[in-house]
Amino acid sequence: MRRDPWQALADPTRREIIQVLEQGPLTINSVAEKFRISRPAVSKQIKILHECGLIEVDSVGRERICTLTPGPLVEVFAWVKHYEHFWLGKLDKLGEFLDQEQDITPGKRPNRLPGIKHN
């Protein structure tokens, strides 16, 4: 069963493991050395990342090598990019409102955000 990449990104330890693997493939032991949690705890996080398709784990002799696979991250970035315009527009409107707030005398505040449709 393949898990949702968003599930993997929700956990700070898993995000840190992704950052560690950006530098290149590492053994599970090498990854675990970079964290203050037990090796089994790191292995559990690696298993989830693998199930989400964010990393590959290959056996080479007795070692298990973890490699970042960006495919699912591309899907996440595409989703974020799709909504970027929407959120930037909202933030621009908020910025305009806050700029106007600084120019208004205390006690005379508008009750609506400019440029935003209210029902």
Our measurement of the distance from residue 18's CA atom to the centroid of its chain's CA atoms, rounded to an integer in Å, reads: 10
Confidence of residue 119 (pLDDT cuts 50, 70, 90): low
* Alpha-carbon distances of 51 from 8, 24, 31, 74, 117, rounded to whole Å: 9, 19, 17, 16, 43
Q: Is 88 left (phi over 0), alpha (psi -120 to 50) or beta?
A: alpha
Who's near 20: CB < 8 A, 6+ residues apart?
Answer: 26, 31, 34
Contact indicator for 65, 75 with CB cutoff of 8 Å: no
Domain covering 5-69: architecture: Orthogonal Bundle (1.10)
pTM exceeds 0.75, yes or no: no
Query: What confidence tens digit (pLDDT) does each residue in 66-78 have?
Result: 999 988 888 888 8
Dist CA 54 CA 8 (whole Å): 8
Query: What confidence tens digit (pLDDT) does each residue in 53-105 have?
Result: 999 999 999 999 999 998 888 888 888 888 887 777 777 777 788 888 777 65
